[in-house]
Amino acid sequence: MRSFFLTSLAVAGLASAAVAHIAPDAERPYRKSLGFGPVHPHAVFRSAPYQVQAAGLRASPDVDPLDVATTFVVNHLRDVLSETSSFVLREDSYTDEATGVTHAYFRQIVNGVEVIDGDLNVNVKDRVVLSYGDSFFHGPAPTVVVEEGASERDPHGEYCSRLESQLLFRPEATRGEQVALHASEAGNAELIQALHQSNCGSRSFVAESAIHTHNDEFTNKPALLAFMMHATPSESVAQDINANFRKHIVRMRSTFDTAYTGDHATTVEYIHNVPDTVNPVKARIGYIQVPEGGKTVLLPVWKFEVEMADNWYEAAVSVTKPHRIISVVDWASDAYAPIRREQESKQPTYHVFPWGVNDPSEGNRTFWNAKPDAIASPVGWHTLPFENDPQYFGVRRKAGSEKFRNTTTTWGNNVFAHENWEGRNAWVDNYRPDAGASLNFSYAYDPRETGSEDALAEAKGYINATVTQLFYTSNLVHDLFYRYGFDEVSGNFQQHNFGRGGAENDAVIANAQDGSGYNNANFMTPPDGQNGRCRMYLWNTANPYRDGDLEAGIVIHELAHGLSTRLTGGPANSGCLGWGESGGMGEGWGDFLATTIRSTANYSDYPMGEWAANRVGGIRNYVYSLDETINPSTYKTLDKPGYWGVHAIGEVWAEILWVVSQKLIAKHGYSDTLFPPQPLENGTVPAGDFYRPREHYTLTTASGAQVTKAKPLVPKHGNSLAVQLVINGMKLQPCRPSFFEARDAIVQADQVLTSGENFCELWKGFSERGLGPDARVDGRTPWGGGVRTNDYEVPLACKEEKIPEDPEDVKLDFII
């Protein structure tokens, strides 16, 4: 462990040295991020309801919905299941209390090994399967995990060369005049070069034979090292791995543990002393699906979870050809394209830019001392159990002593906020303001213009105010998301879950003025039960510097990565929004939520990041606008050069959602607050002016008895309803969703919530930007490529007084 410690220190040291030398105007190196993987042409999302009937399944509404889901899967997979091919129900499946929908997640097992991209999500309500997404492997299972002679066969060959050719016709997309070039695009550009030289990531200087020489035993270390050569942002680390391959293999040590997916046990290896990582790498064997000759085949891979200073990768590397990376997802998401050049002891007070003030150009700070949301944060923002408190981990406490600790700093159950000037990974002991017994977090913020060499010190001078702001915004976002259903069982971020389910010890680590970069922000989302990490940077775009922590839109965008990643494909699967359209929507939801939160009853267009970037119009290609001459984005825009990075794709998605939400606002009006009412003494939430009066419905049990059930609470206004449908849609959609699937999930979320009364408003919004029912994509690529066709029509049911001219026009193929 000691040498591991030294390794991580050395790497962090390099990073901070680099930062220290950067003059405000110097071009910064980009954070590197990789993301790609095979597409699944066979994957589907079906949102037509299914009635599940089976012997042994009680036809009663109180039948366990997980039994319904499991029965459905058994029926649905009749052709797939065999002695060697089965599935497990994942433990992160849950029932959404608000909607009554059970979200069940299944993982495919073949030959006792997980198919890491074999995902099934089944949404069940009142014993009906509302929808399901399926990316299981449907072909014949291999007879053993790694077949004799498998290294001679070359299914990767086809996949890798196709990947390469798809990339090659788009590399110019990364050049051009785009101001907002995402770090991952820069990473991909490198990757393109590497791919060009050799299939699927083998770098020219990697001696393939060297890797194979060390691959005699059934070991994953050569594969991991090969991956690290691509993953490391440091050329010297890569060179060192290449030159000292054997030494590194010898230094790496393994420990083992057992992990469970449902009741399926897998051996997990922890590999220590891996260059450029900050924690031992988790490794396990799995299958992944790759195309071969028009079919899909299973390929054995090592699945690695690699935590590095700036990335947290989930990578699949071929077992038989360990120099080939088959898929990689970065759990870290950059906010932005970097721009070139109760138990509570006391009511706290925060001197902050209040909620709704997007940034310092929009308003002044005020004293905020409202109570935290009683449902979302029952013990407030500054209290957490000693046993979940990282500052007390390993500290033995007297039996019978207090369970909860009250803090006077920006340290609580949802968020740990602090400076991170060093840009390192350590955070527990970083500086955070201490407001003392008064809990009055009131600190000066009055930055002045300085000589450029003093600009950083000037910003550090108001660290108390900025950490306070980050803590405040992040906690409010926690509470807001919670009230729309991002709760413990669905995988939210809290140290302690109050016995309400879900995995614990995963509050957000929020780094203010993080020294690892400028002019950006990022968020790492590991699976439920591990802390999310938000890094906010200073922006050297003006003098005095602008501090991203003070721009709420940036903070909200980041935290929304945690929301969308945990909700899509289930809390324990962080690999569902990796690249292409899925990864793009991961960005888009953040922009949409940030923009919706800052909007007011009087419609206005909004940019993203305008203040921090000190750039009129902000950091996206367009401001968000209903006006097509101001923001012309449509679904087809994704075909354009420059639209294969996640931020550009996300911008299109956010624009579409913005248009959709305005349709709902036009119909239902606007709520001045997005925060639902506080609960009454007896715990019930009053409808107030926020929700419609609660409705009920009845179901008949097997014995003929009538059961009355409450319908979900429905936000009354267009903006709050839009947020609710978007978040509920995330829970319904499958892993690796496309725009179509996310759209269909939102339409289905409305079906569940309101019986579909907004069906036509939603479709009108989607169609207005080309995402009508007949929109198409042909030849989708792992990068979100392909050729798209817009559809500006709405479903027939929504065409007012328009009689179809010929029967061809009558389309009934979207039954929701």
Active-site positions read 558
User: Helix, strand or coil for residue 116?
Assistant: strand
Min CB(406)–ligand NAG separation in Å: 4
Nearer to ligand NAG, 241 or 384 (CB): 384
d(CA 21, CA 15): 10
| CA–CA gap between residue 51 and residue 102 (Å, rounded) | 15
Specify the residue, 363 or 804, whose C-beta has the smaller distance to ligand NAG: 363
In the beta sheet, which residues pair with residue 45?
A: 133
- Which chain residues interact with ligand NAG by CB under 6 A? 343, 345, 349, 361-364, 367, 402, 404-406, 433-434, 438, 440, 442, 461, 463-464, 600-602, 680, 682, 684
Straight-line distance from the first to the last Cα atom of the chain, in angstroms, rounded to the nearest whole number:
55
- Residue 589 or 611 with smaller CB distance to ligand NAG: 611
Tell me the longest C-alpha to C-alpha distance in the chain. Answer: 81
- Are 502 and 485 within 8 A, CB to CB? no
Nearest of 468, 457, 474 to residue 415 by alpha carbon: 474
In whole angstroms, how close is the CB of 276 to ligand NAG at the nearest point?
Answer: 33
Q: Which of 206, 93, 815, 220 is nearest to 501 (CA)?
A: 93
CB within 8 Å of 575: residues ≥ 6 apart = 116, 117, 314, 329, 331, 569, 735
User: Can you tell me the distance from the alpha carbon of 601 to that of 308, in angstroms, rounded to the nearest whole number?
Assistant: 43
- Radius of gyration of the chain, Cα coordinates, nearest whole angstrom: 26
173, 641 contact by CB (below 8 A): yes
Reply yes or no: is the peptide bond before residue 544 cis, omega within 30 of 0: yes
Neighbour count for residue 198 (Cβ, 10 Å): 16
Other CB atoms within 10 Å distance of the CB of residue 249? 16
Nearest to ligand NAG of 204, 364 (CB atom)? 364
Alpha helices in 640-799 (DSSP H): 646-668, 718-732, 739-754, 759-768
- 84 vs 440, which CB is nearer to ligand NAG? 440
Contact partners, residue 154, CB within 8 Å, separation at least 6 = 321
Residue 228 · residue 241 · CB < 8 Å: yes
587 marked as binding residue = yes
What distance in Å separates the CA atoms of residue 384 and residue 343, rounded to the nearest whole number?
9
- Closest CB to ligand NAG among residues 50, 670: 670
**Least gap, CB of 697 to ligand NAG (angstroms):** 18
Closer Cβ to ligand NAG, 115 or 507, answer by number = 507
Q: To 5 degrees, how large is the angle CA 157–CA 158–CA 162?
A: 115
The first and second tokens of residue 435, run together, are: 């407001």
- CB 347, min distance to ligand NAG, A: 8
CB of 450 to ligand NAG, least distance (A): 15
The nearer residue to ligand NAG, 601 or 630, going by C-beta atoms, is: 601
Taking the complex as a whole, how short is the minimal distance between the CB of residue 349 and ligand NAG, in angstroms? 4
Task: Note whether 210 and 241 are within 8 A (CB).
Answer: no
CB of 378 to ligand NAG, least distance (A): 13
Shortest approach of ligand NAG to residue 390 CB, angstroms? 17
Contacts for 611 with CB less than 8 Å, ≥ 6 apart: 358, 359, 360, 361, 362, 546, 551
CB of residue 678 to ligand NAG, shortest distance in Å: 13
Nearer to ligand NAG among residue 680 and residue 815 (C-beta): 680
Tokens encoding 230? 């691509």
Nearest to 584 by CA among 646, 514, 526: 646
For the annotated binding site for Zn(2+), the residues are: 334, 557, 561, 587
For the annotated binding site, the residues are: 334, 557, 561, 587
